[in-house]
Chain A
Amino acid sequence: MSSQGRDERVALARTWARAIGSTVYVPMSAVELHEYLLDLITTLFDTVAAEPFTAAPAAELGRRLVRAKFTGHETLQQSIAVLSDALLAESGSADRVVAMMGELAAGYAEAIRGWTLDQQEEVKRALLDATRRSEAELRESENRFREVVTSSALGIAITDLEGKFLQTNPALAEIIGCKPADFEQRVLTDLFSVATRGQVANAFRADGPDRMITKAELVKDDGDEVWANVALSLLRDDDDAPSYLVAMVQDNSELELLQRQIETLTSKDGLTGMHNRQFFKSRVESVLGRAAPGHAITLLHIDIDNFSVVNHGFGYEAGDELLVSIADKLQRVFADEKAEFGRIDGDEFAVLVENGPTTPSTEDMIRAVHAELAEPVYLGEHGIAVGASIGAVGRLWSTDAVEFFGAAQSALRKAKRSGLRQWSDYDKPEDATEKADFERAAMLAGAFETGEVTLDYSPVVRLSDRKGVGVLAGVVWQPRDAEVIAHDDCVRLAELTGLSVQVGPWLLGEACGHLPIWQALAATANAKESVLRVRLSRAQSADGDLVAAVNEAVARSAVGPEFLQIAFDTSAVAEGLGTAPDNLFTVASNGVRVALHSFRGGPLELDLLAGSEARSVVLTDVFGDVRPPQRSADSALVLGTVELVRAVARIGAEVCVDGVRDEEEAAWWSDHGVHTATGLVFGDPGDVHDMMARFSDAG
Chain B
Amino acid sequence: MTTPDWMPPGVDAELPSAARIYDYLLGGAHNFASDRAVADRLLAVDPGVRRIATLNRAFLRRAVLFLMSQGIRQFLDLGSGIPTVGNVHEIAHQVDPSTKVAYVDYEAVAVAHSEMILAGVDNTAILMADVTEPHLVLDSPKIRGLLDFDQPIGLLALTLFHYIPPQRKPFQVIAAYRDALAPGSHLAVSHFTDDLVHSTGDGLVDTMKTTQNNVFPRSKDEITQLFAGFDLVDPGLVPISLWRPETTMDGGDDPSRDGQYAGVARKK
Interfacial residues, chain A to chain B (CB-CB below 8 A): 17-18, 21-25, 27, 29-31, 69-73, 75, 115-116, 119-120, 122-123, 125-127, 129-131, 133-134, 237-239
Contacts and interface: CB of A to CB of B under 8 A. Distances in A.
B29 A116 contact: yes
B112 interface: yes
Interface of B: 1-4, 7, 10-11, 13, 20, 26-32, 50-51, 53-54, 57-58, 61, 82, 84-86, 90-91, 108-113, 115-116, 246-247, 249-250, 252
A127 B113 CA distance: 8
Contacts of A237: 1
Contact of B246 (A29, A71, A120): A29
Nearest to A69: B85
B27 A71 contact: yes
Given A131-B108, A238-B4, 6 more contacts: A21-B252, A23-B27, A24-B27, A25-B58, A29-B246, A125-B116
Contact of A127 (B3, B13, B53): B13
Given A75-B27, A131-B11, A238-B2, A123 B86 contact: no
A672 to B, nearest CB: 84
Tell me the dominant secondary structure on chain A's binding face. Answer: helix
A239 B2 contact: yes
Contacts of A134: 10-11, 108
Contacts of B30: 119-120, 122-123
A650 to B, nearest CB: 84
21 contacts: A21-B54, A25-B54, A25-B57, A25-B84, A27-B91, A30-B246, A30-B247, A31-B246, A71-B28, A72-B27, A116-B29, A120-B29, A123-B31, A126-B82, A126-B109, A126-B112, A130-B11, A133-B112, A238-B2, A238-B7, A239-B1
A123 B27 contact: no
A27 to B, nearest CB: 3
A22 B25 CA distance: 11
A134 B86 CA distance: 28
B249 A21 contact: yes
B243 to A, nearest CB: 15
A27 B2 contact: no
Nearest to A135: B11
Nearest to A123: B30
B165 to A, nearest CB: 15
Contacts of A127: 11, 13, 109, 112
Most buried by B among A25, A115, A123, A125: A25
A400 to B, nearest CB: 62
A123 B109 contact: yes
A27 B113 contact: no
B86 A133 contact: no
A23 B47 CA distance: 12
B3 A238 contact: yes
Nearest to B65: A29
Given A24-B54, A30-B247, A119 B108 contact: no
B111 A130 contact: yes
B87 to A, nearest CB: 9
Contacts, number: 98
A120 B20 CA distance: 11
Contact of B86 (A25, A129, A239): A25
A18 B247 CA distance: 11
A481 B247 CA distance: 95
B136 to A, nearest CB: 16
B244 to A, nearest CB: 12
A24 B51 CA distance: 9
Given A25-B57, A238-B4, A73 B27 contact: yes
Nearest to B55: A25
A25 B109 contact: no
Nearest to B13: A127
Contacts of A25: 26-27, 53-54, 57-58, 84-86
Contacts of A27: 57, 61, 85-86, 90-91
Contacts of B252: 21-22
Given A27-B86, A30-B249, A119 B28 contact: yes
Most buried by A among B84, B85, B246: B85
A71 B61 contact: no
Contacts of A129: 112, 115-116
A130 B246 contact: no
A18 B20 contact: no
Contacts of B10: 134
B26 to A, nearest CB: 4
A115 B85 CA distance: 13
Given A21-B249, A30-B250, A71-B27, A130 B51 contact: no
Contacts of B27: 23-25, 69-73, 75
Contacts of B2: 238-239
A488 to B, nearest CB: 64
A131 B112 CA distance: 9
A411 to B, nearest CB: 62
Contacts of B57: 25, 27
A118 B246 CA distance: 32
A30 B115 CA distance: 30
B11 A17 contact: no
Contact of A133 (B20, B54, B58, B108): B108
A68 to B, nearest CB: 10
A239 B7 CA distance: 12
A122 B247 contact: no
A29 B51 CA distance: 16
A131 B111 CA distance: 11
A29 B65 CA distance: 11
A25 B91 CA distance: 14
A242 B57 CA distance: 44
Contacts of B54: 21, 24-25
Contact of A238 (B1, B20, B28, B112): B1
Nearest to B108: A130
Given A123-B82, A126-B113, A18 B13 contact: no
B80 to A, nearest CB: 14
A25 B58 CA distance: 8
Most buried by A among B50, B110, B111, B249: B249
Contacts of A21: 54, 249, 252
Nearest to A115: B29
A123 B32 contact: yes
A238 B5 CA distance: 11
A24 B58 CA distance: 11
Contacts of B32: 123
Nearest to A131: B11
A123 B85 contact: no
Contacts of B58: 25
Most buried by A among B50, B91, B252: B50
A129 to B, nearest CB: 4
A127 B10 CA distance: 10
Nearest to A14: B249
A133 B11 CA distance: 10
A17 B247 CA distance: 12
A395 to B, nearest CB: 55
B1 A122 contact: no
B90 to A, nearest CB: 7
Nearest to B62: A29
A563 B54 CA distance: 89
B132 to A, nearest CB: 17
Contacts of B249: 17-18, 21, 30
Nearest to A129: B112
Contacts of A130: 11, 108-109, 111-112
Contacts of A126: 82, 109-110, 112-113, 115-116
A678 to B, nearest CB: 68
